[in-house]
């Protein structure tokens, strides 16, 4: 499997305006997404689909992080296209995780038959999911996106739209001050999402994970211009990874429901139930350490 890294520092520096910084961030992640296209066509290297999906989400997060300068009414068409791309990649990514992590984690541990047949069923669904990815990559819609989106951010086309005076002034401000304000607001969103949250509710935990992801992406965008963010990102990543595992369990349950919709093999169904039980038990073990991680994160120093 190709292990090359796609994450290089975003070329943002203190001399940029808000408008220039947004263009640089979008350009960086757009190029990263395109660099994984060939790998995304097959599951020989599952990083292809994963990294394309991450890049599409990072670009949506960037549009969201800069929404006080470039309002949703201006960025929405591109945000929707990026959502579409991520959604086309989603089923393949979920099946990659299920096969390579979910099934692999319990292989030789569950004393039941049916595991190999469940794996074969998942592989057939993965083949269909990757066909959907290839269809997307070869579509006219995706080609139009690849041609038009870089033109939009490359020419900072938001400057030619109807913006308020305040928005135009914000776009011309130095990026550093803007970055600090956005990080502070996103941090508040994370803390609000975790306040009084029911730790046993997967939906609430998922919402917290989303807010953590938005904050992490923004922190990665602004790391070159805000000293101390690397350590903050590392601490945030620890919390996010735990939330990610918990989310994988919830996703797996939904995925198995879909896989087994037309299944009548009792052994496969029994194995699937045991798999959910095993992974749920792992999730609850991880959940025991959540409160400590959450307290540590709430106390972490904010470098901005």
Q: What angle do CA 9, 10, 14 make, to 5 degrees?
A: 110
DSSP 42: S
pLDDT band at 155 (very low <50, low <70, confident <90, very high): very high
- What's residue 202's pLDDT? 81
- What's residue 48's pLDDT? 98
pLDDT at 83 over 50: yes
3-state secondary structure 95-108: HHHHHHHHHHHHCC
Q: What is the mean pLDDT of the chain?
A: 93
- What's residue 4's pLDDT? 47
Phi, psi of 17 (to 5 degrees): -85, 170
DSSP 160: G
pLDDT band at 109 (very low <50, low <70, confident <90, very high): confident
- Give, in words, the CATH class of 18-299: mainly alpha
Q: How many helices (H) and strands (E) does the chain have?
A: 13, 0
CA–CA gap between residue 258 and residue 129 (Å, rounded)? 13
* Per-residue model confidence as pLDDT tens digits over 156-186: 999 999 999 999 999 999 999 999 999 999 9
* Per-residue model confidence as pLDDT tens digits over 240-280: 888 988 888 888 989 999 999 999 999 999 999 999 988 88
Q: How many CB atoms lie within 10 A of CB 117?
A: 14
pLDDT at 3 over 50: no
* 158 token code pair: 């938001």
CA–CA gap between residue 178 and residue 304 (Å, rounded)? 11
Phi, psi of 9 (to 5 degrees): -55, 140
pLDDT band at 292 (very low <50, low <70, confident <90, very high): confident
Length of the chain counted residue by residue: 304
> Which residue did the predictor score with more confidence, 35 or 253?
35
Least Cα distance to 212 among 187, 195, 229 occurs for 187
Predicted TM-score (pTM) of the model is 0.92
pLDDT at 104 over 50: yes
Q: Give me the mean pLDDT over the 275-290 stretch.
A: 85
- What's residue 1's pLDDT? 41
* 168 token code pair: 């135009």
pLDDT band at 6 (very low <50, low <70, confident <90, very high): very low
| Residue 116 CA: distances (Å) to CA of 106, 237, 254 | 12, 34, 20
Return left, alpha or beta for 211; rule: phi > 0 is left, psi -120 to 50 is alpha, else beta.
alpha
């Amino acid at each position: 499997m190709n292990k090359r890294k796609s994450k290089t520092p975003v070329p943002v520096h203190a001399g940029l305006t808000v408008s220039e910084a947004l263009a640089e961030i979008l350009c960086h992640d757009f190029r990263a997404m395109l660099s994984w296209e060939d790998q995304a066509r097959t599951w020989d290297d599952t990083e292809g689909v994963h990294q394309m999906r991450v890049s599409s989400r990072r670009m949506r997060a960037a549009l969201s992080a800069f929404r006080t300068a470039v309002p949703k009414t201006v960025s929405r068409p591109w945000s929707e296209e990026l959502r579409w791309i991520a959604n086309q990649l989603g089923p393949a990514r979920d099946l990659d995780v299920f096969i390579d992590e979910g099934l692999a984690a319990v292989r030789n541990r569950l004393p039941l038959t049916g595991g190999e047949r469940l794996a074969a069923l998942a592989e057939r669904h993965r083949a269909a999911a990757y066909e959907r990815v290839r269809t997307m990559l070869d579509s006219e819609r995706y080609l139009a996106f690849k041609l038009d989106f870089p033109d939009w951010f490359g020419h900072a086309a938001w400057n030619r739209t109807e913006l308020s005076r305040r928005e135009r002034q914000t776009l011309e401000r130095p990026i550093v001050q803007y970055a600090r304000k956005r990080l502070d607001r996103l941090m508040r969103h994370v803390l609000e999402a975790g306040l009084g949250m029911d730790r046993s509710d997967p939906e609430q935990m998922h919402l917290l994970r989303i807010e953590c992801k938005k904050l992490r992406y923004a922190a990665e965008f602004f790391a070159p211009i805000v000293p101390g963010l690397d350590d903050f990102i590392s601490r945030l990543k620890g919390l996010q990874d735990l939330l990610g595992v918990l989310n994988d369990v919830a996703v797996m349950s939904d995925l198995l429901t879909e896989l087994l919709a037309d299944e009548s093999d009792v052994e496969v169904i029994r194995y699937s139930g045991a798999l959910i039980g095993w992974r749920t038990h792992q999730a609850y073990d991880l959940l025991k350490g959540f409160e400590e991680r959450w307290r540590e994160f709430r106390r972490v120093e904010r470098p901005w």
